Protein backbone atom coordinates (compact mmCIF):
# COMPACT_ATOMS: atom_id res chain seq x y z
CA UNK A 1 0.00 0.00 0.00
CA UNK A 2 1.58 3.25 -1.16
CA UNK A 3 1.49 6.16 1.27
CA UNK A 4 2.82 9.44 -0.13
CA UNK A 5 5.87 11.33 1.05
CA UNK A 6 4.86 14.98 0.73
CA UNK A 7 5.14 18.44 2.25
CA UNK A 8 2.16 20.77 2.15
CA UNK A 9 3.33 24.39 2.03
CA UNK A 10 1.78 27.78 2.81
CA UNK A 11 -1.37 26.43 4.45
CA UNK A 12 -2.82 27.54 7.74
CA UNK A 13 -2.31 24.57 10.06
CA UNK A 14 -4.00 23.88 13.40
CA UNK A 15 -1.01 22.84 15.52
CA UNK A 16 -1.17 21.96 19.23
CA UNK A 17 -0.23 25.56 20.08
CA UNK A 18 -2.67 27.21 17.67
CA UNK A 19 -3.14 28.12 14.01
CA UNK A 20 -0.07 29.14 12.02
CA UNK A 21 0.91 29.42 8.36
CA UNK A 22 3.56 26.78 7.95
CA UNK A 23 4.61 23.59 6.18
CA UNK A 24 3.25 20.19 7.18
CA UNK A 25 5.01 17.01 6.07
CA UNK A 26 3.95 13.37 6.07
CA UNK A 27 5.86 10.22 5.30
CA UNK A 28 4.66 6.60 5.20
CA UNK A 29 1.43 7.43 7.01
CA UNK A 30 2.88 9.64 9.74
CA UNK A 31 3.44 13.33 10.27
CA UNK A 32 7.16 14.09 10.19
CA UNK A 33 9.46 16.90 11.18
CA UNK A 34 11.61 16.43 8.07
CA UNK A 35 10.51 18.18 4.90
CA UNK A 36 9.71 15.80 2.03
CA UNK A 37 10.90 16.22 -1.57
CA UNK A 38 7.43 16.53 -3.12
CA UNK A 39 5.91 19.95 -2.33
CA UNK A 40 2.27 21.01 -2.76
CA UNK A 41 1.20 24.63 -2.37
CA UNK A 42 -1.90 24.87 -0.16
CA UNK A 43 -2.18 28.65 -0.02
CA UNK A 44 -5.71 29.62 0.97
CA UNK A 45 -6.47 26.33 2.71
CA UNK A 46 -6.66 25.29 6.35
CA UNK A 47 -5.37 21.90 7.55
CA UNK A 48 -7.09 20.37 10.59
CA UNK A 49 -6.62 17.07 12.42
CA UNK A 50 -8.97 14.37 11.12
CA UNK A 51 -12.29 13.95 12.91
CA UNK A 52 -12.46 11.16 15.49
CA UNK A 53 -16.11 10.09 15.62
CA UNK A 54 -16.82 8.16 18.83
CA UNK A 55 -20.37 7.05 18.08
CA UNK A 56 -22.10 6.74 14.73
CA UNK A 57 -24.88 4.48 13.52
CA UNK A 58 -25.34 6.16 10.13
CA UNK A 59 -23.52 3.14 8.66
CA UNK A 60 -26.78 1.22 8.92
CA UNK A 61 -28.20 2.85 5.79
CA UNK A 62 -25.12 1.69 3.86
CA UNK A 63 -24.91 -1.92 5.00
CA UNK A 64 -28.63 -2.64 5.53
CA UNK A 65 -30.80 -0.08 3.73
CA UNK A 66 -33.81 -2.44 3.59
CA UNK A 67 -34.69 -5.62 5.45
CA UNK A 68 -33.34 -8.67 3.66
CA UNK A 69 -31.73 -6.68 0.83
CA UNK A 70 -28.00 -7.08 1.47
CA UNK A 71 -26.01 -10.29 1.60
CA UNK A 72 -22.43 -9.05 1.16
CA UNK A 73 -21.76 -6.06 3.45
CA UNK A 74 -18.48 -5.17 1.71
CA UNK A 75 -19.91 -2.79 -0.93
CA UNK A 76 -21.87 -1.01 1.79
CA UNK A 77 -18.72 -0.54 3.86
CA UNK A 78 -17.01 1.01 0.82
CA UNK A 79 -19.92 3.40 0.48
CA UNK A 80 -19.66 4.18 4.18
CA UNK A 81 -15.98 5.04 3.84
CA UNK A 82 -16.76 7.45 0.99
CA UNK A 83 -19.24 9.30 3.19
CA UNK A 84 -16.83 9.37 6.13
CA UNK A 85 -14.09 10.78 3.90
CA UNK A 86 -16.35 13.44 2.40
CA UNK A 87 -17.02 14.69 5.91
CA UNK A 88 -13.42 14.65 7.21
CA UNK A 89 -13.83 11.59 9.45
CA UNK A 90 -10.63 9.56 9.70
CA UNK A 91 -11.55 7.42 12.73
CA UNK A 92 -15.11 6.12 12.97
CA UNK A 93 -16.56 4.16 15.86
CA UNK A 94 -19.42 2.07 14.46
CA UNK A 95 -22.08 1.75 17.16
CA UNK A 96 -23.61 -1.69 16.55
CA UNK A 97 -26.38 -3.10 18.72
CA UNK A 98 -26.53 -6.52 20.33
CA UNK A 99 -30.22 -6.35 21.06
CA UNK A 100 -33.52 -8.18 21.37
CA UNK A 101 -35.02 -5.58 18.99
CA UNK A 102 -34.23 -7.60 15.88
CA UNK A 103 -33.30 -6.62 12.34
CA UNK A 104 -29.92 -4.89 12.08
CA UNK A 105 -29.90 -4.63 15.89
CA UNK A 106 -29.99 -8.40 16.36
CA UNK A 107 -26.98 -10.45 17.53
CA UNK A 108 -26.88 -12.22 14.16
CA UNK A 109 -26.38 -8.92 12.36
CA UNK A 110 -23.77 -7.84 14.91
CA UNK A 111 -21.84 -10.98 14.02
CA UNK A 112 -22.20 -10.37 10.28
CA UNK A 113 -20.86 -6.83 10.63
CA UNK A 114 -17.88 -8.01 12.69
CA UNK A 115 -17.06 -10.67 10.09
CA UNK A 116 -17.31 -8.10 7.28
CA UNK A 117 -15.07 -5.61 9.08
CA UNK A 118 -12.44 -8.28 9.67
CA UNK A 119 -11.87 -8.72 5.92
CA UNK A 120 -12.67 -5.18 4.76
CA UNK A 121 -9.57 -3.27 3.54
CA UNK A 122 -10.42 -0.08 5.40
CA UNK A 123 -8.57 3.16 4.76
CA UNK A 124 -10.16 5.06 7.63
CA UNK A 125 -9.82 3.46 11.06
CA UNK A 126 -13.16 1.66 11.65
CA UNK A 127 -13.64 0.69 15.30
CA UNK A 128 -16.43 -1.61 16.48
CA UNK A 129 -18.49 -0.45 19.45
CA UNK A 130 -20.87 -3.04 20.89
CA UNK A 131 -24.10 -1.43 22.12
CA UNK A 132 -25.23 -4.10 24.55
CA UNK A 133 -28.88 -4.16 25.56
CA UNK A 134 -29.33 -5.09 29.21
CA UNK A 135 -32.17 -7.40 28.22
CA UNK A 136 -29.58 -9.59 26.43
CA UNK A 137 -27.43 -9.92 29.53
CA UNK A 138 -28.77 -13.44 30.06
CA UNK A 139 -26.41 -14.34 27.19
CA UNK A 140 -23.20 -13.20 28.89
CA UNK A 141 -21.10 -16.19 27.84
CA UNK A 142 -22.05 -15.72 24.19
CA UNK A 143 -21.41 -11.98 24.40
CA UNK A 144 -17.97 -12.46 25.98
CA UNK A 145 -17.02 -15.07 23.38
CA UNK A 146 -18.00 -12.63 20.62
CA UNK A 147 -16.01 -9.79 22.21
CA UNK A 148 -12.97 -12.04 22.53
CA UNK A 149 -13.24 -13.44 18.99
CA UNK A 150 -13.44 -10.03 17.35
CA UNK A 151 -11.32 -8.08 19.84
CA UNK A 152 -14.10 -5.56 20.47
CA UNK A 153 -12.48 -2.60 22.30
CA UNK A 154 -15.53 -0.59 23.36
CA UNK A 155 -18.84 -1.62 25.00
CA UNK A 156 -21.72 0.71 25.84
CA UNK A 157 -24.76 -0.42 27.83
CA UNK A 158 -28.29 0.44 26.68
CA UNK A 159 -31.75 -0.34 28.02
CA UNK A 160 -34.56 0.24 25.53
CA UNK A 161 -37.16 -1.89 27.30
CA UNK A 162 -40.41 0.04 27.94
CA UNK A 163 -40.30 -0.75 31.65
CA UNK A 164 -43.13 1.55 32.67
CA UNK A 165 -45.60 -0.08 30.28
CA UNK A 166 -44.39 -3.59 31.08
CA UNK A 167 -44.62 -3.02 34.82
CA UNK A 168 -48.20 -1.74 34.55
CA UNK A 169 -49.40 -4.38 32.13
CA UNK A 170 -50.05 -1.83 29.37
CA UNK A 171 -49.39 -2.47 25.69
CA UNK A 172 -45.84 -1.23 24.92
CA UNK A 173 -45.61 1.65 22.45
CA UNK A 174 -44.80 0.83 18.80
CA UNK A 175 -45.31 -2.86 19.47
CA UNK A 176 -46.59 -3.70 15.98
CA UNK A 177 -43.68 -2.07 14.15
CA UNK A 178 -41.05 -3.46 16.49
CA UNK A 179 -42.49 -6.96 16.17
CA UNK A 180 -42.43 -6.71 12.37
CA UNK A 181 -38.78 -5.62 12.42
CA UNK A 182 -37.84 -8.48 14.73
CA UNK A 183 -39.66 -11.13 12.71
CA UNK A 184 -41.91 -12.00 15.64
CA UNK A 185 -45.63 -11.74 16.10
CA UNK A 186 -46.76 -8.88 18.37
CA UNK A 187 -47.70 -11.44 21.01
CA UNK A 188 -44.28 -13.14 20.86
CA UNK A 189 -42.45 -9.81 20.95
CA UNK A 190 -44.44 -8.58 23.94
CA UNK A 191 -43.85 -11.86 25.78
CA UNK A 192 -40.10 -11.59 25.15
CA UNK A 193 -39.98 -8.02 26.46
CA UNK A 194 -42.00 -9.00 29.50
CA UNK A 195 -39.64 -11.86 30.29
CA UNK A 196 -36.61 -9.55 30.09
CA UNK A 197 -38.34 -6.93 32.24
CA UNK A 198 -39.18 -9.56 34.85
CA UNK A 199 -35.56 -10.81 34.80
CA UNK A 200 -34.06 -7.33 35.26
CA UNK A 201 -33.18 -7.79 38.97
CA UNK A 202 -31.23 -10.92 38.05
CA UNK A 203 -29.62 -9.16 35.10
CA UNK A 204 -28.55 -6.16 37.17
CA UNK A 205 -27.09 -8.49 39.78
CA UNK A 206 -24.83 -9.93 37.07
CA UNK A 207 -23.59 -6.55 35.87
CA UNK A 208 -20.72 -5.94 38.32
CA UNK A 209 -19.06 -9.28 37.56
CA UNK A 210 -19.63 -8.87 33.83
CA UNK A 211 -18.12 -5.37 33.83
CA UNK A 212 -15.19 -6.67 35.85
CA UNK A 213 -14.58 -9.25 33.11
CA UNK A 214 -14.62 -6.52 30.48
CA UNK A 215 -12.25 -4.37 32.52
CA UNK A 216 -9.89 -7.33 32.90
CA UNK A 217 -9.78 -7.50 29.10
CA UNK A 218 -8.93 -3.79 28.88
CA UNK A 219 -12.24 -2.89 27.25
CA UNK A 220 -13.52 0.65 27.58
CA UNK A 221 -17.09 0.95 28.81
CA UNK A 222 -19.83 3.52 28.86
CA UNK A 223 -23.54 3.93 29.47
CA UNK A 224 -26.16 5.47 27.20
CA UNK A 225 -28.95 7.95 27.94
CA UNK A 226 -28.34 8.34 31.68
CA UNK A 227 -31.18 10.24 33.36
CA UNK A 228 -29.82 10.83 36.88
CA UNK A 229 -26.56 11.43 38.70
CA UNK A 230 -27.21 8.28 40.73
CA UNK A 231 -27.50 6.20 37.57
CA UNK A 232 -24.23 7.65 36.28
CA UNK A 233 -22.50 6.98 39.61
CA UNK A 234 -23.65 3.36 39.53
CA UNK A 235 -22.18 2.84 36.07
CA UNK A 236 -18.96 4.59 37.06
CA UNK A 237 -18.66 2.24 40.03
CA UNK A 238 -18.71 -0.70 37.60
CA UNK A 239 -16.07 0.85 35.35
CA UNK A 240 -18.39 2.26 32.67
CA UNK A 241 -16.93 5.75 33.00
CA UNK A 242 -18.02 7.23 29.65
CA UNK A 243 -21.41 8.95 29.58
CA UNK A 244 -22.98 8.78 26.12
CA UNK A 245 -25.79 11.25 25.52
CA UNK A 246 -26.85 12.02 29.11
CA UNK A 247 -30.46 13.09 28.91
CA UNK A 248 -30.38 15.57 31.78
CA UNK A 249 -27.95 17.98 33.42
CA UNK A 250 -27.12 15.99 36.62
CA UNK A 251 -25.43 13.02 34.90
CA UNK A 252 -23.54 15.45 32.63
CA UNK A 253 -22.30 17.28 35.72
CA UNK A 254 -21.04 14.09 37.38
CA UNK A 255 -17.46 14.69 36.23
CA UNK A 256 -17.17 11.75 33.82
CA UNK A 257 -16.18 12.00 30.13
CA UNK A 258 -19.30 13.07 28.21
CA UNK A 259 -20.12 12.33 24.56
CA UNK A 260 -22.95 14.30 22.97
CA UNK A 261 -24.54 14.19 19.55
CA UNK A 262 -23.32 16.77 17.04
CA UNK A 263 -26.72 16.75 15.24
CA UNK A 264 -28.25 18.00 18.50
CA UNK A 265 -25.81 20.93 18.50
CA UNK A 266 -26.53 21.71 14.84
CA UNK A 267 -30.30 21.61 15.42
CA UNK A 268 -30.05 23.53 18.69
CA UNK A 269 -31.88 20.82 20.60
CA UNK A 270 -32.60 17.12 20.84
CA UNK A 271 -35.29 15.32 18.85
CA UNK A 272 -36.01 13.34 22.04
CA UNK A 273 -38.70 15.15 23.99
CA UNK A 274 -37.24 14.39 27.43
CA UNK A 275 -33.61 15.11 26.59
CA UNK A 276 -31.66 18.28 27.39
CA UNK A 277 -30.15 20.36 24.59
CA UNK A 278 -26.60 19.30 23.78
CA UNK A 279 -25.80 22.87 22.72
CA UNK A 280 -26.73 24.04 26.21
CA UNK A 281 -24.41 21.48 27.80
CA UNK A 282 -21.60 22.26 25.35
CA UNK A 283 -21.80 25.99 26.05
CA UNK A 284 -21.71 25.26 29.78
CA UNK A 285 -18.51 23.20 29.43
CA UNK A 286 -20.25 19.87 30.09
CA UNK A 287 -19.17 18.07 26.92
CA UNK A 288 -15.87 16.41 26.09
CA UNK A 289 -16.64 15.06 22.62
CA UNK A 290 -19.19 15.52 19.85
CA UNK A 291 -20.08 12.55 17.66
CA UNK A 292 -22.00 12.03 14.43
CA UNK A 293 -24.75 9.92 16.05
CA UNK A 294 -26.99 9.31 13.01
CA UNK A 295 -25.57 11.96 10.61
CA UNK A 296 -21.93 11.91 9.46
CA UNK A 297 -21.75 15.57 8.30
CA UNK A 298 -22.68 16.75 11.81
CA UNK A 299 -19.27 16.88 13.60
CA UNK A 300 -17.75 19.22 10.98
CA UNK A 301 -20.92 21.31 10.86
CA UNK A 302 -21.20 21.50 14.66
CA UNK A 303 -17.60 22.71 14.99
CA UNK A 304 -18.32 25.42 12.41
CA UNK A 305 -21.43 26.45 14.35
CA UNK A 306 -19.48 26.75 17.60
CA UNK A 307 -16.91 28.97 15.86
CA UNK A 308 -19.78 31.15 14.60
CA UNK A 309 -20.98 31.43 18.21
CA UNK A 310 -17.63 32.83 19.32
CA UNK A 311 -15.61 29.74 20.17
CA UNK A 312 -11.99 29.72 19.06
CA UNK A 313 -11.18 27.19 16.34
CA UNK A 314 -8.84 25.17 18.63
CA UNK A 315 -11.56 24.94 21.31
CA UNK A 316 -14.29 23.90 18.89
CA UNK A 317 -12.13 21.46 16.94
CA UNK A 318 -10.90 19.72 20.10
CA UNK A 319 -14.46 18.43 20.63
CA UNK A 320 -14.37 16.46 17.37
CA UNK A 321 -10.72 15.41 17.21
CA UNK A 322 -8.26 15.66 20.11
CA UNK A 323 -10.72 15.12 22.97
CA UNK A 324 -12.45 12.03 21.54
CA UNK A 325 -9.09 10.51 20.62
CA UNK A 326 -7.88 10.96 24.18
CA UNK A 327 -11.14 9.63 25.62
CA UNK A 328 -10.64 6.17 24.15
CA UNK A 329 -6.87 6.07 24.39
CA UNK A 330 -5.95 6.83 20.77
CA UNK A 331 -2.82 8.80 21.61
CA UNK A 332 -1.48 8.78 18.04
CA UNK A 333 -4.14 11.07 16.52
CA UNK A 334 -6.25 14.17 17.08
CA UNK A 335 -3.26 16.48 16.64
CA UNK A 336 -0.94 17.56 13.85
CA UNK A 337 2.50 16.98 15.30
CA UNK A 338 5.53 14.90 14.35
CA UNK A 339 4.97 11.27 15.29
CA UNK A 340 1.18 11.42 14.99
CA UNK A 341 -0.80 9.49 12.40
CA UNK A 342 -1.25 11.42 9.18
CA UNK A 343 -4.98 11.88 9.74
CA UNK A 344 -6.06 15.28 8.49
CA UNK A 345 -8.57 17.22 6.47
CA UNK A 346 -8.27 20.32 4.35
CA UNK A 347 -10.89 23.04 4.26
CA UNK A 348 -11.08 26.79 3.75
CA UNK A 349 -10.73 29.31 6.60
CA UNK A 350 -14.56 29.66 6.73
CA UNK A 351 -15.02 25.89 7.19
CA UNK A 352 -17.48 25.87 4.30
CA UNK A 353 -16.74 22.27 3.25
CA UNK A 354 -14.17 19.48 3.32
CA UNK A 355 -11.95 19.63 0.23
CA UNK A 356 -9.59 16.77 1.10
CA UNK A 357 -9.29 14.03 3.69
CA UNK A 358 -6.18 11.96 4.40
CA UNK A 359 -6.46 8.90 6.66
CA UNK A 360 -3.28 7.18 7.77
CA UNK A 361 -1.40 8.95 4.99
CA UNK A 362 -3.83 7.86 2.25
CA UNK A 363 -5.93 10.34 0.32
CA UNK A 364 -9.55 9.30 0.81
CA UNK A 365 -11.35 12.43 -0.47
CA UNK A 366 -10.53 15.19 -2.96
CA UNK A 367 -12.80 17.93 -4.28
CA UNK A 368 -12.70 21.27 -6.06
CA UNK A 369 -9.59 23.21 -6.98
CA UNK A 370 -7.59 21.37 -4.36
CA UNK A 371 -7.85 18.18 -6.39
CA UNK A 372 -5.99 19.83 -9.28
CA UNK A 373 -3.20 20.93 -6.93
CA UNK A 374 -2.87 17.51 -5.33
CA UNK A 375 -2.68 15.45 -8.50
CA UNK A 376 -0.58 17.83 -10.57
Say if residues 30 and 343 touch (Cβ distance below 8 Å). no
The tens digit of pLDDT for each residue in 50-95 reads 999 999 999 999 998 776 556 789 999 999 999 999 999 999 999 9
The whole model's pTM is what? 0.95
pLDDT for 286 equals: 97
pLDDT of residue 18: 87
- Per-residue pLDDT reduced to its tens digit, 265-318: 998 755 565 678 899 999 999 999 999 999 999 999 999 999 999 999 999 999
pLDDT tens-digit map of 225-240: 999 999 999 999 999 9
Indicate if 51-332 has the same CATH topology as 1-50+335-376.
Answer: no
Which sequence spans correspond to the domains of the chain? 1-50+335-376, 51-332
Q: Would the CA dihedral through 67, 68, 74, 75 be positive or negative?
A: negative
Q: Which fold has domain 1-50+335-376?
A: Urease, subunit C; domain 1 (2.30.40)
DSSP H helix total and E strand total for the chain: 16, 16
What span, in angstroms and rounded, lies between the C-alpha atoms of 68 and 32?
Answer: 47
Q: Of all residues in the chain, what percent carry a pLDDT higher than 90?
A: 86
Q: What are phi and psi of 344, to 5 degrees?
A: -155, 165
Angstrom distance (rounded) from CA 90 to CA 228: 33
Instruction: Write down the CATH number for the domain with range 51-332.
Output: 3.20.20
Residue 183's pLDDT band, with cuts at 50, 70 and 90, is confident
Mean pLDDT of the chain: 94
Task: Taking the CA atoms of 70, 73, 75 and 78 in sequence, report the sign of the dihedral they define.
Answer: positive
Predicted local confidence at residue 21, as pLDDT: 97
Backbone phi, then psi, for 276, in 5-degree steps?
-70, 155
What is the percent of the chain with per-residue pLDDT over 70, rounded to a whole number? 96
Amino acid sequence: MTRPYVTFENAQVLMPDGVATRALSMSDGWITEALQPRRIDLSGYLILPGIVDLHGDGFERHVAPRRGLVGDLGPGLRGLEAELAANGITTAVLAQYWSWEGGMRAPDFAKRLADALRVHPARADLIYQLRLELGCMRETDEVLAFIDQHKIPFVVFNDHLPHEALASGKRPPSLQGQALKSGRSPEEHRALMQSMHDAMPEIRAKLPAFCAELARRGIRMGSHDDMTAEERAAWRGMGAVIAEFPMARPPAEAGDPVILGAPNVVRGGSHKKKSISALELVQDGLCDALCSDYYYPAPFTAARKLVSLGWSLPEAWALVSANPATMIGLTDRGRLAPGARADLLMTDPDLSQVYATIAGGQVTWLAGDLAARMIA
